[in-house]
Amino acid sequence: MIYNYSPLKLEAYFNDHELNLELIKKINKNFYRLGQFDINEWDNISKNNIETLKKHFMFELPRIVWSGVSKDGTKKYLVSFKDGLSVETVFIPSEDRNTLCISSQVGCAIGCKFCHTGTMGLSRNLKTHEIVGQLLAVIKDLGTQNRVSNIVFMGQGEPLHNFRNVKDACEIFLHQDGLALSKQKVTISTSGLVPQIERWEEFPDVNIAVSLHAVRDDKRSELMPINKVHDLKRLFSALDKVPQKSSRRIMYEYILIKDFNDGLEDIEGLKKVIKKKKSKINIIPFNDYPDSKFKRPSDEKINWFRQKLHDEGYVTTIRVTRGDDILAACGQLKSEFDKLNLPSSTK
């Protein structure tokens, strides 16, 4: 696929095969900027050059096999690949941005107990073109009037488990001759893979979000088995070395679960481990999914928890639940529409 190549890799391919480098700019303009995905319709490239490109690259997009729209306007897609496997991708429109939550793996190996995706296990990593292809397929579906402004790697999978392909996808998202998304508008969320966090400087200058969810090792290990290998001490040691540019903060994601991690002792724990000036805490009220043993706290408890942290001087937000009626909210993604009894529309 043409969009399997990061900008540097595409240029290297053209050089190796003695192709005209000027075509790269036209590919970027037509394919990424203008959303003209059918190469046969390009009128700024000669027919000979079009045939040459078709000999070297494929331009097909992944197939959207299902989509559903929430009552709040959130749109969830089931995106299928050549081998028949699929992932979920979620488009979240709002007044000031259009965010796409994309997947990096088919399933996930981390097995977080609060996450529906974790019940799938891991099938495989997504290739670069399958990550980028989710965005392109959504752009084609929505049209240019609903252009995506923000990308969050918060869909299925652990992005840092798929380090190289996620890195290449980010380079494609940010490339100024292509999609040209702002580096401040791309966020990678990780469960806390310490060896990969220690390599963060290899990534383009994008945002990092950390799934924290508890500040005691016993509690965090209960929620996230990865903590048994990469405990809180190791995690924060690695995060201290993450380059923080442009005065941006590390975002700490905190799933708030009723009677588990929503007490005063949990707030005191957060104060001990998180540095105010370099951090932002994003409270995520737990989203129910089939067969989950956890429950969402009351709105009063959620607001109390946030206010306590705010009073201590922490930048603290509450993530607005979007798309939960179609299981599109945080922690609800799982590629099994046939078992969820959801309304569907086949593309």
Distance CA 143, CA 157 (A): 27
**In whole angstroms, how far apart are CA 195 and each of 160, 192, 200, 238, 279?**
9, 9, 9, 8, 21
* Predicted local distance difference test score (pLDDT) of residue 292: 78
* Predicted local distance difference test score (pLDDT) of residue 337: 44
* Predicted local distance difference test score (pLDDT) of residue 327: 52
Task: Given the residues 108, 112, 115, 330, select the one marked as catalytic.
Answer: 330
88 is catalytic: yes
312 is catalytic: no
Domain boundaries, the chain: 2-56, 63-339
Chunked mean pLDDT (size 10), the chain, 347 residues: 92 96 93 92 95 96 93 91 93 91 93 78 94 95 84 95 96 91 94 96 93 96 95 96 77 95 96 92 86 88 96 92 53 44 38
* Predicted local distance difference test score (pLDDT) of residue 89: 93
For 277, residues 6+ apart whose C-beta sits below 8 A from its C-beta are none
**Dihedral of alpha carbons 234, 202, 183, 166, sign:** negative
* Predicted local distance difference test score (pLDDT) of residue 217: 97
Task: Given the residues 88, 130, 158, 171, select the one marked as catalytic.
Answer: 88
Helix axes 163-174, 7-16, angle to 10 degrees: 90
Distance CA 186, CA 281 (A): 17
Is residue 75 within 8 A of residue 90, CB to CB? The reply is yes
| Listed residue (58, 221, 187) closest to 127, CA to CA | 58
CATH T-level fold of 63-339: TIM Barrel (3.20.20)
- How long a stretch of residues is the chain? 347
* Predicted local distance difference test score (pLDDT) of residue 320: 79
pTM, two decimal places: 0.89
User: Where does the chain have alpha helices with state H?
Assistant: 7-16, 22-27, 47-56, 128-142, 163-174, 194-197, 217-223, 232-239, 264-273, 299-311
**In whole angstroms, how far apart are CA 154 and each of 104, 133, 249, 320?**
8, 16, 18, 15
